[in-house]
A and B are shown apart, each in its own frame.
Chain A
């Protein structure tokens, strides 16, 4: 009995240790890496992975493929920037404001689409993104095509404004972790089961008492709010936004990390982001001078290769691979599933008795 408990505890400790080490590496990177170029790539990885996690809540977990996440991000950036520049509000409060606005807009716009099934949602999400962009380009209040700039000034946590990239690195890292934990929490909750049931079969979901429309709306609102948060982060980092933030290509970019990493997994966008974004930057730096556009071509080839040979993404392959078996059994000393269950059941009966 206690043997099994010990084995499970040892495994959990090993996992915590491994994750702790990984986190430590990320925390220490700015201490050793001084190049702003490299740090910028990491910040890019952080916010694009977060955006991709937002997409994955809808695309991966709920099976609703959105191609409009750049619009949520852009709208969130605009909402918070305008509140800062026009009303002089605190950036952190503006971030919350931006998230609420975008959540509401997404909920209201997509409610009617979810009454219909199938690809309507995808189509509307594309139209939504383009409509928002056109609206902003033509609206004086939103600064038209010239965009909105955030005020420069002294470094300040209160104003979330820094000359160095290091604070953005840490805030970005915290954002990724926070959103990852949120997504993990959602996955294991009632909502997560509802979303995955809807993904697999909407009729089956309704038959067990899930209101598909309600949960899809919840998913789109949460997803849009996270995207809005990313928009705020982006705006604070770049300190300038324009309607180009919302172009269709940016929405597609939010999909790629999830698909490459494995859309069925909460960790998918993180793995995909860590691979694809540095790759894209590397190709740009290395080859774009050789021949214009060659970097995009190579990127596309890499993408096609992943989709052709690992259609379930890198994690989809890893989860059923010998590598994972080796890592689990030899490095982390993971006990068999039966041991976990035995421990779980024991704990319960012990508490009830």
Chain B
């Protein structure tokens, strides 16, 4: 990358530092264990997260038994 500083208005900005902070990379963590192929558990993981994040659908009221 071009390491350049500009001096207009008498103020010097570190352009390279600005660029690097703007394009902040993702955290250096390992990827989640999502298998690539079908039938290797990926469906279960996706379903689990889907259940966590999906909006709840309203349930029908239970019928109460009358004696």
Q: Do A and B come from one complex?
A: no
Interface residues of chain A, those whose CB is within 8 Å of chain B, are: none
